[in-house]
Amino acid sequence: MFDITLVQVFDFVGTLAFAISGIRLASAKKFDLFGAYVVGVTTAIGGGTMRDMMLGVSPFWMTNMFYLICSAIALLWVIVFRKLLVRQDNTWFLFDTIGLALFTVTGIEKTITTIGPSGEHFPFWTAIIMGTITGAGGGVLRDVFINEVPLIFRKEIYALACVIGGIAYYICHHLGLDSTLSAIICGITVVLMRLLAVKYKLHLPIIKGEE
């Protein structure tokens, strides 16, 4: 009971943080309210939608209004508290990180329990990729919509935290830990990687061009 509630709280604050990141970037580009909402929703649910379409199941938000309502709350929040958002940056960073961890776990677990359209099971490395897409894919779609080069391809260790969390899940799974414990260790790994990357300003090297 407590578990379910905690996951729901994480889902709520994570969705909120993802949507707010999209809405803030949309506001910097002078989007109207509708456009800002669409970018916010896309940031929040875009990764999971890509995952579900590749897995051959209906996108998760199509039968559950929760995510659209969260995104509407995010829009209201940005409108009402816009002058306070910068001061709230640490909180939103934390919520965004919680969301990233939860969405990674969700993506992994959905992939290993889903049976594909032709009856196939997916290998664990596909689950890690799907966890990463669930966590980081919405941000890529957000950046495509605001016509910028995706941030996670250039500047930050973000998707890599999902990949490493996914590998942690796999190791736990391989060692015979149960799925709840594996999920918790995976989530904590994602959060730690992200916090360490930001605290120590860790970046991946830029790939060098030919000239």
Q: Which two tokens stand for residue 149?
A: 């080069």
Q: Does 186 help bind its own copies (rule: CB under 8 A)?
A: no
Interface with its own copies, residue 184, by CB under 8 A: no
* Span interacting with its own copies, options 3-11, 63-71, 100-108, 178-186, rule CB under 8 A: 63-71
Q: Does residue 175 bind its own copies (CB under 8 A)? A: no
Nearer to its own copies, 9 or 154 (CB): 154
Q: Which stretch binds its own copies (CB under 8 A): 7-15, 52-60, 101-109, 189-197?
A: 52-60
CB of 109 to its own copies, least distance (A): 16
Site size toward its own copies (CB under 8 A) is 65
Residue with tokens 């939103």: 92
Q: Which of residues 84-103 bind its own copies (CB under 8 A)?
A: 85-86
Q: Which stretch binds its own copies (CB under 8 A): 79-87, 98-106, 168-176, 180-188?
A: 79-87
Tokens of 197: 């990357």
Render 69-124 in DSSP notation, one character per residue: HHHHHHHHHHHHSGGGTTTTHHHHHHHHHHHHHHHHHHHHHHHHHPPPTTSPPPPH
Asked if 80 is part of the footprint of its own copies (rule: CB under 8 A), the reply reads: no
In the complex, the smallest distance separating the C-beta of residue 145 from its own copies, rounded to whole angstroms, is: 6
Mapped onto helix, strand or coil, the DSSP state of residue 158 is: coil
For 10, 45, 91, 106, 161, the CA distances from 141, given in Å and listed in that order, are 22, 10, 23, 19, 19
Q: For the stretch 170-194, what's the b/e string if a residue is b when 16 or more beta carbons lie within 10 angstroms of its beta carbon?
A: bebbeeeeebeebbebbbebbbbbb
Is 203 a binding residue for its own copies by CB under 8 A? The answer is: yes
Task: Kindly state the greatest CA–CA separation across the chain.
Answer: 59
Between residues 3 and 211, which has the closer beta carbon with respect to its own copies?
Answer: 211
Q: Which residues of 45-78 are buried (b: 16+ CB within 10 A; e: fewer)?
A: bbbbbbbbebbeeebbbeeeeebbebbebbbebb
154 binds its own copies per the rule CB under 8 A: yes
Binding site for its own copies (CB under 8 A): 23-24, 26-36, 38-39, 49, 53-59, 62-63, 65, 68, 75, 78-79, 82-83, 85-86, 116-118, 120, 122-123, 125-126, 140, 144-150, 152-155, 157, 159-160, 203-210
